[in-house]
Amino acid sequence: MRYYLVAGEASGDLHGANLMKALKTEDANADFRYYGGDKMQGEGGVLKKHYAEMAFMGFTEVLLNLRTILRNMKACKQDILSYQPDVLILIDFPGFNLKIAEFAKKQGIKVYYYISPKVWAWNQKRVLKIKRIVDQMFCILPFEVDFYKSWGMDVDYVGNPLLDEKALFKADPGFREKYRLDKDVVALLPGSRRQEIERLLPDMLSVVSSFPDHQFVIAAAPTFDHAYYQQFMGTANVTLVFGETYQLLHIARAAIVASGTATLETALFHVPQVVVYKGGAISIAIARMLVKIRFISLVNLIMDKQVVRELIQQDCNPGNITSTLKGLVEGEERSIMLQDYEDLSAKMGLPGASERTAQLISKYLRKA
């Protein structure tokens, strides 16, 4: 079978790579072509465009980069037509992927969507369009099944692929020695996109001097180099690690995390965290009018209560980050959060999402 995958950011690259690995088990003749990243490229096939050229964050940033986005979209459509896949597999990234889905459906190409767009957060009527242009939806959050059912759409819940990645993780006993980490560690996860790093990392680093008994370590995105991060670090006593986020979370005492997939990864490693987010003023104003959910972090959304504190926009400042972090490195807040993490792990279930999704894709394609 010929599979065309589209992933537009770091998390999609990770999940796409795991899915490709599982599809090769189901289909010995699997042939891949994709928009993705280094992890997907490691599974073989042809990488047509790297997600680093595609990830734009927020309403304002999208508008400012609209010509680039449209150019990427046109190239993707042309490449899909040229490749003529048996199935198009779209991974999250809804602003781009829903338009690609609509195009592919008109061309008579099977469209499967892995990791649902967050239509439950705003403009829920988009489900009607999804029903029309997506043949199968594979969801990774338990509450999404009932949400889609309320709109008359049956979807498959496959579990969460982060559990797969964590199950594959093997701790490096020499990690602390490698980076000379002899104190309790606070992990800084500022995200993988330029806009969020530049908005969040300065505030994260501003609290370092308040914790002299801790070592701060930045989980750096592979799309940037050491010099890029150094401009924010200055003379601060901070360590930088590339491609070893799970090793970092494994030994971390606490973490400051940009809102996104990393909040759930941090929770699955049972690291107490504070979640931070800053967007452009116009983007935030629009979001507040449109978004209809109580929380922004996946941890709180899945648990349907505040487990981790969310510092958004003006609340994301050095004072609030410092006071929250102090409760996480020691104290009652830490104990409560760790107990909530136990409940979260039970709710998330067992690994195997990638394998279950690959099995379902193979089943549906055989049936078709």
Q: What is the pLDDT of residues 97-140, one digit of tens each?
A: 999 999 999 999 999 999 999 898 878 889 999 999 999 999 99
* CATH number (domain holding residue 154): 3.40.50.2000
Q: How many angstroms separate the CA atoms of 144 and 178, rounded?
A: 42
Please check whether residues 110 and 216 belong to one and the same domain: no
Residue 185: beta bridge partners?
Answer: 215, 252
**Three-state DSSP class for 3?**
strand
Q: How many angstroms separate the CA atoms of 38 and 36, rounded?
A: 7
Please check whether residues 289 and 234 belong to one and the same domain: yes
Mean pLDDT in residue range 216-237 = 93
Number of H helices, E strands in the chain: 18, 13
Please check whether residues 199 and 91 belong to one and the same domain: no
Please check whether residues 8 and 140 belong to one and the same domain: yes
| Of residues 335, 311, 337, the one with CA closest to residue 323 | 311
Please check whether residues 197 and 292 belong to one and the same domain: yes
What's the pLDDT score for residue 10? 84
Please check whether residues 305 and 247 belong to one and the same domain: yes
Please check whether residues 94 and 214 belong to one and the same domain: no
Q: Which two tokens stand for residue 54?
A: 């595609």
Q: How many angstroms separate the CA atoms of 177 and 44, rounded?
A: 34
pLDDT digits (tens, 9 = 90+) for 254-277: 999 999 889 999 999 999 999 999
Strands (DSSP E) contained in the chain are: 2-7, 31-36, 46-50, 87-91, 110-114, 136-139, 156-157, 184-189, 214-220, 238-242, 252-258, 273-277, 309-312
What's the pLDDT score for residue 133? 98
Please check whether residues 118 and 66 belong to one and the same domain: yes
In the chain, the number of structural domains is 2
Please check whether residues 216 and 148 belong to one and the same domain: no
Please check whether residues 325 and 252 belong to one and the same domain: yes
What's the pLDDT score for residue 142? 83
Please check whether residues 133 and 256 belong to one and the same domain: no
Pairing of strands 110-114, 87-91: parallel
Q: How sure is the predictor about 60, in pLDDT bands with cuts at 50, 70 and 90? A: low
Query: Which residue range is the domain that position 146 belongs to?
Result: 2-159+352-367
Contact 86, 110 (CB under 8 A): yes
Please check whether residues 181 and 214 belong to one and the same domain: yes
